[in-house]
Amino acid sequence: MSTIVMPKPMQSVLDRKAAIVAALAEALPDNRVISDPAETRAYECDALTAYRCPPLAVVLPTTTEEVSAAMRVCHDLGVSVVPRGAGTSLSGGSLPTADCVIIGTARMNGFLEVDYDNRCLRVQTGATNLSVTGHVEDDGFFYAPDPSSQLACAIAGNIAMNSGGAHCLKYGVTTNNLLGVRLVMADGEIVDLGGPQMDLPGLDLLGLICGSEGQLAIVTEAVLRILPKPEGARPVMIGFDDAEVAGECVARIIRSGVLPVAIEYMDRPCIEVVENFAHAGYPQCEALLIVEVEGSEPEIQDQLARITAIAGELNPVEVRVSASAEESANIWKGRKSAFGAMGQINDYLCLDGTVPVSALPGTLKRIGDLGREHGLQVANVFHAGDGNMHPLILFNANRPGDLERAEALGADILRACVEVGGCLTGEHGVGIEKRDLMPDQFSPVDMEMQMRVKDVFDPGWLLNPAKVFPLSASESRRTEDRRRAG
């Protein structure tokens, strides 16, 4: 029988992988490390499925201490680490590289403490967003941030991307509802930031961590603000035969001083698909606003009267106030299922550029013009109240060149958002999707200062090293010599 001799470089790679997996297995309890290629393939991408790469190995710890042990091994061996929550990132934020170890929080989903007196709870960050409200709703409380993926997305990813949701207009995004974290640094050190108290002295390192996209540390526990359920809530649907007029209605509502809990927007392509999917009772129109208000019954009636009066000045196709709890649930069921419904008819890229509310009408027109220039259809569904846009670029993933056309259109749309005073991302993060667009928003000096912050937290650039910053800008920091020195 002949012996197969592997080329030395290949053998060296296999030996290094074996050494890394063995070190992780020795440092952790059984069943925490996955290295079989057939099993690691399940982690080859996140919700930006256009890009895939199986990792070297996956670690699924159950405690902060186990995360720390895995991080120490990777730090000592100079192995890059990609943190992963539920893998719902739409920007490639948890896309692995072939030489990385994924450290996931999926098994860390315990609720550690509930403090109703101080209106907060402490939870492991593998818990899903929706489970937080589920844990406290019987006692009359809820957790405000509510991304459309809240059934699946994890608190870890919400913190990494500073996620928002439909109700962030009134209650803010994750950073406004995050009181403290326990995190593991790149070298394995465990650090606590913040806590149940408000306005702790010193630098706002908690604010720095929230939205840092796994670049600085892995957050394993979080102290979250919970709020008493409102006395009541009611949505109104407002249909228009012109998308720009709908955008103008949003701007007028905000200028009026009324503060709805949510203002959501859908255009005709999205309305039709969602209605066929969810049967939510949406009207036939070019653009639909879902505006929800809350409070006591007199407060609800007053706010609805002011909102419908504003809409009435713009010649709406239909104004329909929800008449029951069941109708309200159906209205929101349609909106929450929009992304999944669109996925039934087309491949799509979902963007999240943000613009000033006053710029919504012009930006919607610009998106339509850009879609026609690139020969692709764009469906719009987004959080209109704070200008967080989610254009869905429809394309055929099986048609050669279509993905590249969609990405080029997406880049032009995001640049258009920046040009009117907005930004590249509202809640999805930069990841790999927008890293090459960073110079469109930030100067070289701005990016250098951001990378210096990462230098402080992660001198070896082992944490999510190929994300956020253009590869050419971070190349010198990601070299093998630099990692080993770190």
Q: Is residue 1 part of a domain?
A: no
Flag whether pLDDT at 5 surpasses 70.
Answer: no
Say if residues 145 and 163 touch (Cβ distance below 8 Å).
yes
Give the model's pLDDT for residue 297. 95
Among 104, 134, 165, the domain-final residue is: 104
424: left (phi over 0), alpha (psi -120 to 50) or beta: alpha
Flag whether pLDDT at 11 surpasses 70.
Answer: no
Flag whether pLDDT at 338 surpasses 70.
Answer: yes
Does 145 lie in the same domain as 124?
Answer: yes
| DSSP3 helix / strand / coil % (the chain, rounded to 5) | 40, 20, 40
Say if residues 40 and 54 touch (Cβ distance below 8 Å).
yes
CATH number of the CATH domain containing 365: 3.30.70.2740
Distance of CA 140 to the CA centre of its chain: 27
Q: Is 227 exposed, middle or buried (0-12, 13-18, 19+ CB in 10 A)?
A: middle
Q: What one-letter code names the amino acid at 76?
A: D
Q: Is residue 200 part of a domain?
A: yes
Q: Which DSSP symbol is given to 5?
A: P
Q: How far apart are CA 446 and CA 453, in angstroms?
A: 11
Does 358 lie in the same domain as 303?
Answer: no
Q: Is residue 272 part of a domain?
A: yes
Sequence-separated (6 or more) residues with CB below 8 Å from residue 12: none
Does 123 lie in the same domain as 99?
Answer: no
Does 416 lie in the same domain as 375?
Answer: yes
Question: In angstroms, what is the C-alpha Rg of the chain?
Answer: 23
Range of the domain at 45: 8-104
Flag whether pLDDT at 166 surpasses 50.
Answer: yes
CATH number of the CATH domain containing 15: 3.30.43.10
Say if residues 384 and 323 touch (Cβ distance below 8 Å).
no
CB atoms within 10 A of CB 204: 13
Mean pLDDT of 287-293: 96
The answer to whether the predicted template modeling score (pTM) of the entire model surpasses 0.85 is: yes
Does 260 lie in the same domain as 152?
Answer: no
Flag whether pLDDT at 419 surpasses 70.
Answer: yes
Place of tokens 């990841």: 431
Mean pLDDT of 422-437: 95
Strands (E), 143-199: 178-184, 190-194
Higher pLDDT, 193 or 482: 193
Average pLDDT of the chain to the nearest whole number: 93
Does 127 lie in the same domain as 100?
Answer: no
Q: Is residue 2 part of a domain?
A: no
Question: Tell me: the pLDDT tens digits for 51-78?
Answer: 999 999 999 999 999 999 999 999 999 9
Among 228, 251, 280, the domain-final residue is: 228
Give the model's pLDDT for residue 8. 55
Does 83 lie in the same domain as 34?
Answer: yes
pLDDT-derived band of residue 479, with 50, 70 and 90 as boundaries?
A: confident
CATH number of the CATH domain containing 307: 3.30.70.3450
Q: Give me the residues paired with residue 105 across strands.
A: none
Beta strand 81-84 pairing with 101-104: parallel
Which strand (E) or helix (H) includes residue 45? none
Does 166 lie in the same domain as 135?
Answer: yes
Question: Tell me: the pLDDT tens digits for 115-135?
Answer: 999 999 999 999 999 999 999
Does 414 lie in the same domain as 467?
Answer: no
Q: Is residue 306 part of a domain?
A: yes
Tally of domains in the chain = 5
Least confident of 59-63, 382-386, 407-411, 458-462: 382-386
Least confident of 23-27, 280-284, 414-418, 446-450: 280-284
CATH number of the CATH domain containing 189: 3.30.465.10
Beta strand 141-142 pairing with 227-228: antiparallel
Does 218 lie in the same domain as 120?
Answer: yes
Say if residues 214 and 467 touch (Cβ distance below 8 Å).
yes
pLDDT-derived band of residue 6, with 50, 70 and 90 as boundaries?
A: low
Among 46, 69, 104, the domain-final residue is: 104
Does 382 lie in the same domain as 323?
Answer: no
Q: What is the DSSP string of 355-383?
A: --GGGHHHHHHHHHHHHHHHT--EEEEEE
Instruction: Phi first, then psi: give them for residue 445, nearest 5 degrees.
Output: -65, -45
Q: Is 190 exposed, middle or buried (0-12, 13-18, 19+ CB in 10 A)?
A: middle
Closest CA to 88 of 34, 30, 150: 150
Q: Which DSSP symbol is given to 486?
A: -
Q: How far apart are CA 156 and CA 137, in angstroms?
A: 21
Question: Tell me: the pLDDT tens digits for 32-46?
Answer: 999 999 999 999 999
Does 149 lie in the same domain as 125?
Answer: yes
Q: Is residue 3 part of a domain?
A: no
